[in-house]
Structure 1
Amino acid sequence: MSSRAYGEPLRAPRYGARLAGAGFFLAFAGVVALSLASVQTGPAPGGAAAAPVQAASPVAGSERNAARPPTEVTIAATGDITLGSTPELPPDGARSLFAGVERELRGELVLGNLETALTDTGASKCGSGSTSCFSFRAPPSYAGRLQEAGFTMLNLANNHSFDFGSTGQGRTVDALDAARLRHTGRPGEIAYQQVGRVRLAVLGFAPYPWAQDLRDLDAAKRLVRQAAATADVVVVTMHMGAEGNAATHVPVGSEHYAGEQRGDSRAFAHAAVDAGADLVVGHGPHVLRGLEWYRGRLVAYSLGNFSSYRNLALSGASGISGILQVSLDGDGGWLEGRLVPVRLVGDGTPQLDRDGRAIEAIRALSEADFGAHAVRVDRDGALNPASG
């Protein structure tokens, strides 16, 4: 269903519509790549160079779904991913870490929030012997495990991607590139992915200097508008908010945690949609949060912990998670969605949850926090637009 059924258009005609109006026609057999030059978006905050815009090209996810209509895009998204931390690593090189959920990690875009530096070098941000600071790193080869599981893109806008400084982040980017995985979230970075005739843009935001800062709403809206002007479908990820079992509700106003001002989740999500985002995916609280229907677009405020090998406490709400599956039309309009319930077992391995605890939790949280604007969650996890 197109967003026009829910009110006036949110933006000017999108990238694809403008191309058609100008007489351009993208006609290729199957899933194709739109070849783009790597460009810079300008200086990042603090004088650092902005990350390059990533070129669109076919990836494993699009190849698996080549038979789907070219004007429909399927997206799967998860919450926080940690992969252990050297020397506490999965015994089989993480080859079976996602075995219990791989069949649900399917879509043209499969997006996760990577909270582990993939590096064997770099100095930890934590002092020697610290018991209140946490830094996570795993071998660069673990990028291959993510690709094998089905991921096509990882968000690096979070508090752990810089655990081992710029060296660690650079090695992480190199590892993802070598595994043919896209990444997003550095200052000024827009990652593109081509799906048939539909061009997707993905942007990551977090309240940290090594990420696109979500606390600067004006700058965030400018970057989202830039993405909307050059893509058909825009997905925004936000890493923000307090953490832990007491942080399941989305407050009104800014959140503070561990001495950090972590932004206003509602204000940022609404600003992103107003600027052109078609889907907003949140993570960071390490617990599930509710789903809001805002101006014809879905906002998932937090998808919880997706994997956490011996890194995080997983009792209560922290051990319940979900995979968000969404289908959008070629202009970003809603078609259908589903929440696949997941629970973390043992040392933090994700498994499908037949008891559906995530479905019950997210339905209650959505209704409590968003009332008439809550996404309606059926007993089987099907997602429906708000009735209000």
Structure 2
Amino acid sequence: MGGFFFLPLMKTRLTLLFFVAILMVACNQPPAKRAVIQKQVAKAADKKVINPPLDVINIAAVGDIMLGSSYPDSTFLPPDSAKNSFKHALKDLREADLAFGNLEGVLLDTGAPVGYKLRFKHKGYLFKMPTKYGSILKDAGFDVLSVGNNHSNDFDRAGRKSTIKILDSLGVHAAGFKTHPSKVFTLNGVKYGFCAFSPNGQTVSLLHIAMAKNLIADLKSKTDIVIVSFHGGGEGADYEHVPDSAEIFKGEDRGDLRLFTHAAIDAGADVILGNGPHVARGMELYKNRLIAYSLGNFVTYKGVSVSGVCGLAPLLKICINKKGEFLNGRIVSYRQNHQTGLQPDTLNRAALRIKALTQADFIRPGLSISASGAITPSITN
């Protein structure tokens, strides 16, 4: 890249293809450095290019986040008050133009569980994070959080109301509750629409596809890029694969995820980020838009199993253009356990597992994943 920084010294005019090549490289740079490269490209073309011909957006996405629960007691809270939860992933999260995660639980200091969940009264399966943990999410770099999942209603309306209040006060955009189905916001000159779906109570339904399409289409009419999150599918190590049908888990309809995601893209979604199974799942490109069917667990302190494949913690880096089309990406592999928390995984196990699941589940996934986690569109896509 060093030679590219001297573009203003070149005497010959760059071709459009050379512009594109440089900007594709810039896609993988931090926002500040990418802006410098784009300005130098424009200057090199005799100052006749006001805006680079190709704008790129970097997104960092992770799965479930549950930083510890004060319910049923403080023994389910981490000893460092969750301050070091993301320390190994801060660079990946903070350097993205937009960072996303699924908040599994609510931000609430006081309050009792909703009545029908009292069967878990003496177990750590109800997730109530202290409200001060909201600043940890903000500091880590998260811009967008899904709050639509099966723990959204653990503490009834008080939990949902407190969660939105805290995230709003921090400038973290959230959606997924029936009361907050979507969010429109602008970052770095790009206008985003975000919505999140789940088959659970008090959330925007994953099961009503026609309604979901209307919501997505409305967002697309108002914004540049639409990001969709869904929380669906069975849970646990036996549910790594994406079936070509509806998933029933413990008698509950958890959604036909292939049908839902394709319908969402048909309606205008540009990136689809799945969570819910507590394991990673495969990926595919559909109409040049990326679908990640599950990003598994990322930071889940107690209350969530992280044994075996449940401990794989992928961080997905996506590069798209301003039309929402997928350019390239990378799976950064982490692992977690309840003793040491989130740690980098030099064996790339999350990337290798997603690569294997993608090859197993999709005849033509439209993308290729390398052993190191690099994602590129397939030539035949």
TM range (shorter): 0.7 to 0.9
Q: CA deviation at 1:183?
A: 0.6
If you compute each CA radius of gyration, which structure gives the higher value, 1 or 2?
2
Normalising by structure 1, we get a TM-score of 0.80
Which residue is 1:98 aligned to?
86
Which residue is 2:246 aligned to?
254
Which residue is 1:30 aligned to?
none
Q: CA deviation at 1:131?
A: 6.3
CA-based RMSD: 2.1
Which residue is 2:8 aligned to?
none
Q: CA deviation at 1:93?
A: 1.5
- Secondary structure of the residue aligned to 1:373 is coil
Cα displacement string for residues 312-343 of structure 1 (whole angstroms, at most 9, x for unaligned residues) = 12111100021111111111122221111111
Cα displacement string for residues 256-298 of structure 1 (whole angstroms, at most 9, x for unaligned residues) = 1233211111000000011111111100000000011111111
Q: 1:162 to 1:63 in 2, by over 3 A?
A: farther
Q: 1:374 to 1:331 in 2, by over 3 A?
A: closer
- Secondary structure of the residue aligned to 1:312 is coil
- Secondary structure of the residue aligned to 1:372 is coil
Return the alpha-carbon distance in structure 1 between the equivalents of residues 168 and 33 of structure 2. 20
AA at the equivalent of 1:76: A
Q: 1:231 to 1:67 in 2, by over 3 A?
A: farther
Return the alpha-carbon distance in structure 1 between the equivalents of residues 343 and 289 of structure 2. 28
Aligned with residue 154 of structure 1, among 128, 141, 145: 145
Aligned residues: 328
Return the alpha-carbon distance in structure 2 between the equivalents of residues 98 and 385 of structure 1. 30
Q: Is the 8 A contact 1:140 1:175 kept in 2?
A: yes
Which residue is 1:114 aligned to?
103
- Secondary structure of the residue aligned to 2:238 is coil
Cα displacement string for residues 187-226 of structure 1 (whole angstroms, at most 9, x for unaligned residues) = 3622123233321111111112311111001000001100
Q: CA deviation at 1:66?
A: 6.6
Q: CA deviation at 1:68?
A: 7.8
Return the alpha-carbon distance in structure 1 between the equivalents of residues 256 and 317 of structure 2. 25
Q: CA deviation at 1:64?
A: 10
The answer to whether residue 204 in structure 2 is matched with residue 183 in structure 1 is: no
Which residue is 1:43 aligned to?
none
Would you tell me which structure has more helix in proportion to its own residues?
A: 2
Q: Is the 8 A contact 1:83 1:308 kept in 2?
A: yes
Cα displacement string for residues 32-84 of structure 1 (whole angstroms, at most 9, x for unaligned residues) = xxxxxxxxxxxxxxxxxxxxxxxxxxxxx989987686832211110011111
Percent identity of the aligned residues? 37
The answer to whether residue 229 in structure 2 is matched with residue 229 in structure 1 is: no
Name stretches of at least 5 consecutive residues in structure 1 with no aligned partner.
1-60
Kindly report which structure 2 residues correspond to 1:330-341, keeping only aligned pairs within 5 A, or say none. 330-341=322-333
Q: Is the 8 A contact 2:101 2:145 kept in 1?
A: yes
Q: Is the 8 A contact 1:72 1:327 kept in 2?
A: yes
Normalising by structure 2, we get a TM-score of 0.81
Q: 1:90 to 1:281 in 2, by over 3 A?
A: same
Q: 1:90 to 1:220 in 2, by over 3 A?
A: same
Which residue is 2:156 aligned to?
165
Aligned with residue 241 of structure 1, among 222, 233, 243: 233
Q: Is the 8 A contact 1:199 1:233 kept in 2?
A: yes
Name stretches of at least 5 consecutive residues in structure 2 with no aligned partner.
1-29, 39-50
Return the alpha-carbon distance in structure 1 between the equivalents of residues 343 and 268 of structure 2. 34
Which is further off, 125-134 or 165-174? 125-134
Return the alpha-carbon distance in structure 1 between the equivalents of residues 119 and 200 of structure 2. 23
Q: 1:128 to 1:291 in 2, by over 3 A?
A: closer
Return the alpha-carbon distance in structure 2 between the equivalents of residues 355 and 264 of structure 1. 33
Q: Is the 8 A contact 2:67 2:129 kept in 1?
A: yes
Cα displacement string for residues 228-257 of structure 1 (whole angstroms, at most 9, x for unaligned residues) = 111111111110000000100001111112
Q: CA deviation at 1:133?
A: 8.0
- Secondary structure of the residue aligned to 2:328 is strand
The answer to whether residue 73 in structure 2 is matched with residue 81 in structure 1 is: no
